[in-house]
């Protein structure tokens, strides 16, 4: 009798052990959020009238259902935001959260709280939280990117054809503070095959435009030239498929009304830009307006705009350094 009871006990223990193992196998870990970045350079700041950059890595063994982003003031009244994101995330086990949240121009300045909640399809939840500060700030400079089209408007070698008859389309404006940090639209989306007119604006303390100082007349313009640095661009003349980048400074007249004569004399208060399919992806760039030493400007050619050694090759000092990101991708990939 004791032997029978012993065998029954062993059978029960084995059954329980097997059931326990199956139960453990059925348990799915909750999602994990790592490397969360809030704001440019993870500075946990944003500006009213601009966008807030958020990014992080998400792992969800149980497969992502949605990601909810919530923002609310730490105390009192203020701007509030709540949205569930699924596009590009739902149904995946590993994803990079990368979104830009538009902040209304009327959003109150102050301390805010950001909360990110990831839910998988088994109901497991992970939460990440961060402080956020929203400020209101007047811009010190701006770059206005306007798409241009038209018959004969195209890139060729190191320059463009047909710009004189170009038709202007939609525009995107990046605003910068006095240190050159973007306070609006810092992550600029551009179509790789589209040509963009770039207009530089600078402002004094009272908001009056001052960019025409760089092209007041021929004598003043002889001291300045714009560069677009960084991004490791493949330039169009170096692209076997002719799908590289072109940056062409192109004013046709100085501020005093006299005509700009020749490519060497242009400055970059107005310029034109094509990313090209060879440069698709994300690029950190800096628009530079450089004050040049006497006699340097005539040595700068149309293929020198992205040189990593521009500062030593073309002696002078930088008047402006405007930093932003270019996201070059087809519109349907956004």
Side-chain half-sphere exposure of 19, counting CA atoms within 13 A? 6
pLDDT tens figures, 35-74: 999 988 899 998 887 789 999 999 999 999 999 999 999 9
Query: Which pLDDT band, with edges at 50, 70 and 90, does 10 fall under?
Result: very low
pLDDT tens figures, 305-325: 999 999 999 999 999 999 999
Which residues, other chains included, contact 308 with Cβ-Cβ below 8 Å and sequence gap of 6+?
A: 229
The confidence score (pLDDT) of residue 187 equals 87
CA dist., res. 19 & res. 269, Å (int)? 73
The confidence score (pLDDT) of residue 331 equals 62
Query: Which pLDDT band, with edges at 50, 70 and 90, does 1 fall under?
Result: very low
Q: Could you tell me which of 157, 106, 110, 204 has the C-alpha nearest to residue 301?
A: 157
Which residues, other chains included, contact 198 with Cβ-Cβ below 8 Å and sequence gap of 6+?
A: 143, 144, 145, 270, 271, 272, 273, 287
**Two tokens, residue 322:** 């405007």
The confidence score (pLDDT) of residue 28 equals 66
Domains of the chain: 32-135 (2.60.40.2550), 141-333 (no CATH)
2, pLDDT greater than 60: no
Query: Which pLDDT band, with edges at 50, 70 and 90, does 27 fall under?
Result: low
Percent of the chain with pLDDT over 90: 77
Of 21-35, 127-141, 177-191, 246-260, the range with the lowest mean pLDDT is 21-35
CA dist., res. 261 & res. 254, Å (int)? 10
Q: Could you tell me which of 139, 204, 218, 211 has the C-alpha nearest to residue 173?
A: 139
CB atoms inside a 10 Å sphere around CB 168: 12
Percent of the chain with pLDDT over 70: 90
pLDDT tens figures, 283-296: 999 999 999 999 99
CA dist., res. 188 & res. 179, Å (int)? 19
pLDDT tens figures, 223-272: 999 999 999 999 999 999 999 999 999 999 999 999 999 889 999 999 99
Q: What is the pTM of this model?
A: 0.70
CA dist., res. 252 & res. 306, Å (int)? 22
């Amino acid at each position: 009798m004791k032997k029978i009871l012993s065998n029954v006990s062993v059978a029960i223990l084995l059954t329980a052990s097997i059931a326990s193992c199956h139960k453990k196998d059925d348990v799915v870990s909750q999602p994990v959020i790592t490397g969360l970045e809030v704001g440019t350079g993870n500075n946990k700041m944003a500006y009213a009238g601009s966008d807030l950059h958020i990014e992080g890595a998400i792992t969800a063994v149980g497969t992502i259902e949605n990601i909810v982003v919530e923002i609310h003031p730490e105390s009192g009244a203020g701007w509030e935001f709540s949205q569930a994101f699924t596009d590009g995330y739902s149904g995946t086990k590993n994803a990079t959260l990368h979104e830009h949240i538009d902040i209304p121009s009327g959003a109150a300045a102050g301390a805010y709280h950001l909360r990110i909640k990831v839910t998988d399809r088994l109901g497991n939840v992970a939460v990440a939280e961060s402080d956020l500060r929203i400020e209101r700030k007047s811009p010190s400079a701006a770059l206005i990117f306007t798409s241009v089209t038209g018959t004969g408007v195209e890139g060729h070698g190191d320059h463009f054809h047909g710009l004189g008859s170009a038709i202007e389309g939609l525009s995107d404006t990046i605003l910068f503070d006095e240190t050159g940090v973007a306070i609006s639209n810092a992550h600029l989306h551009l179509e790789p095959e589209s040509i963009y007119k770039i207009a530089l604006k600078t402002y004094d303390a009272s908001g009056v435009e001052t960019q025409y100082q760089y092209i007041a007349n021929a004598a003043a313009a002889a001291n300045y030239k714009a560069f677009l640095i960084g991004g490791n661009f493949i330039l169009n003349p170096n692209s076997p498929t002719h799908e590289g980048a072109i940056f062409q400074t192109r004013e046709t007249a100085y501020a005093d009304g006299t005509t700009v004569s020749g490519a060497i004399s242009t400055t970059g208060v107005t310029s034109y830009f094509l990313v090209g399919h060879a440069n698709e992806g994300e690029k950190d760039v800096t628009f530079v307006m450089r004050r040049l030493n006497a006699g340097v400007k005539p040595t700068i050619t149309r293929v020198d705009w992205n040189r990593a050694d521009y500062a030593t090759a073309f002696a002078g000092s930088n008047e402006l350094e405007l930093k932003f990101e270019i996201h070059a991708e087809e519109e349907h990939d956004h």
